A and B are shown apart, each in its own frame.
Chain A
Amino acid sequence: MTTKNRVYLTSSTSLSCAGDSNQALFDNVVNGVTGIAKDPNYFDSATPAIGKFTQNYNFHKALVSQCQYILDLCQLEDFTDTLLIVGSSVGGMAETEKRFFKDKNYTNIDPNFHNIHTIAHVLKSHFDFYDDISFSTACTSSANAIGYAYEVLSKGLYKRVLVVGADSLTHTTIGGFLSLGVLSSAPCKPFDISRDGMNVAEAIACLLIETEPQQNCVEIKGVGYSSDAYHMTHPHPEGLGAISAMSSALRAANLDTEDIDYINAHGTGTSANDNAEANAIASLFGEHTPVSSTKAITGHTLGAAGALEAIISSLVLTEGILPQNTFLDKAENTDIALMKKSKISSVSYVLSNSFAFGGNNCSLIFGAVK
């Protein structure tokens, strides 16, 4: 891709089970304090461990307040010169479920509050944006949104982008993953030999992305995309799609594998995903580059995961701490450098992976501003 501008992640905010602020999120990730807990309220047949917000927020109000926080933080008057890019996998499904389970029919379901566009619809009713677009590629949704932001800004097509990764908890996703037999009833243990599945979680992550650097910002260095073209839910066992996405991101960033100081793995805690990703990382990076998954703390926030983990990656760069694999006891994947303890380190470049149903892959590279 021909690039024109450098692209910076200048401000961000997040709300997740791991904290009501970026700092709380990062402290918990680094110190191994999980936001995941058993929840008996969704299904009688099982009690999965999931990640709920620390307080009982109204999801739509929380969306608005997170974006207002970005406005205030950046002392922007408004978003009229800003492209809104949303990444979400469930959109308004929680509202649809509420109405359908109460009424047992569709009559009171408002299409504007059902589909993926719900997130943008809510935000556009409170803020004026230059334009908007919403992506829904399951668990890569907001990673793809950041990738798209990088592309349009580097090409000089827009002035500023607000990426919003947002997914709420729904019966559909919790029950769906239960049906696939991949939900754990404890906080997940990605890459551990005794792992028994993943944790569905909710999150809102907002990132302001610009072409002018600001204080404490990080640079978005490159993005790589690929499709497995293999299976709807299983990644290619050798991680061929992941290798392609990571290689493409490295090429876009004009970096070599040895330049990467830390990899924030997709690492969901399911055997198929972890093994495929570990094989891909081992194939490209060997056992030299520190790797961790932060989902034991945040859970898998589905369409919001790419954005939430982009924030974690940016904090790795600005705080100089590599986060641990919390709950990792005995690694199944011994040919990659899985970190058991967080570590202070000088960090120049971080690679963040997101993979999704349908074999959709997206890798992002962030760098310290030089």
Chain B
Amino acid sequence: MKIKLEILSASSICAKQEIEDLHTKILVPKMVTRRRLTRAAKMAIYLADHVSFTQGKIIYGSSFGELPATANILHAIQKEEGISPTHFQNSVYNTAVSYLSMLHENKEEILTVSSGDNTSEKVLKAGAIKALEGGTFLLLVTETLNIDAIDEVNTCHAHLESGAALKVRLSTETPTIDIKTLPVDKHLPASVQLLYALASTIKTTQKNIIEVAL
């Protein structure tokens, strides 16, 4: 079974350490909300803004989830210190899109996929399946690996923060992009590569149609 999607708009971001300006002060005016946001939440808000998405279903993906919050909790336990409630509530994998939903009061279905290196591919598949119901929705991936001593375990990712967003809908038109032959940036986490490559490939002068094989 193959399902075709039209990419209506796309955005991607990455940095070796930390993405410098995510426009968070502008996008999240309330300080009480802004100060609780994780890096992944700030990236999700930035990417969603770039594709002009506020309402609708979201399929979000991350292989490692909220790694900074997780690392903070591990260190607190190891040092026999109390765990920060904020770190704990921000450690679940659906944190980033939950803050995004709160910001825009988006009460639609929001799913979080975490399928290791294949997370982008599985986000696309889940998105294609959800697209059969109609509507415009958001496919989003982020990774935030920028924690102290990450080099002890990270030997392959040169970019520690990365993310991509696609606003999509179901299509019946002929594909214009072959996702199998897309050039991917090997410096990015594998979980981000496919959506990042798609976001980097789309052309504003033509329709961008992909075909997703289940």
Nearest CB of B to A76, in Å? 21
Which residues of the other chain, B, contact A314 by a CB distance below 8 angstroms? Answer: none
Query: Are A233 and B101 also in contact (CB < 8 A) when A116-B65, A158-B214, A175-B83 are?
Result: no
A358 touches B97 (CB 8 A): yes
Nearest residue (CB) in A for B71 is: A106
Contact of A357 among B94, B104, B133, B152 (CB under 8 A): B94
* Chain A residues within 8 Å of B112, by CB: 135-137
- Residues of A in contact (CB 8 Å), total 62
Name the residue among A132, A151, A179 with the largest chain B CB count within 10 angstroms: A179
Selecting from A63-71, A97-105, A271-279, the interface stretch reads A97-105
Q: In the complex, which of the residues B76, B78, B95, B126 contacts A133, with contact meaning CB atoms closer than 8 Å?
A: B126
B149-165 CB contacts (< 8 Å) to partner A: 149-150, 152-153
Q: A172-B77, A175-B77 are in contact. Are A117 and B114 (CB under 8 A)?
A: yes
A115-B111 in contact (CB<8A): no
Cα-based distance from A83 to B104 in the complex (angstroms): 34
Q: Is B113 an interface residue (CB 8 A)?
A: yes
Determine if B64 is an interface residue (Cβ-Cβ < 8 Å).
yes
Question: Complex formed: what's the CA distance from A227 to B91 in Å?
Answer: 18
The residue on A at minimum CB distance from B155 is A111
CB-contact partner of A135 in B82, B84, B114, under 8 A: B114
Are A232 and B99 in contact, CB atoms less than 8 angstroms apart? yes
**A residues within 8 Å of B by Cβ?**
1-2, 44, 89, 91, 93, 96-97, 100-101, 104-107, 109, 111-112, 114-117, 120-121, 131-138, 144, 148, 151-152, 155, 157-158, 171-172, 175-180, 225-233, 241, 244, 356-360
Interface residues of B, Cβ cutoff 8 Å to A: 1, 36, 63-65, 70, 73-74, 76-78, 80, 82-85, 88-95, 97-99, 101-102, 104-116, 119, 122, 125-126, 129-130, 132-133, 149-150, 152-153, 214
Supply 5 A–B pairs (Cβ within 8 Å), ascending by A.
A115-B64, A144-B111, A157-B1, A176-B88, A357-B98
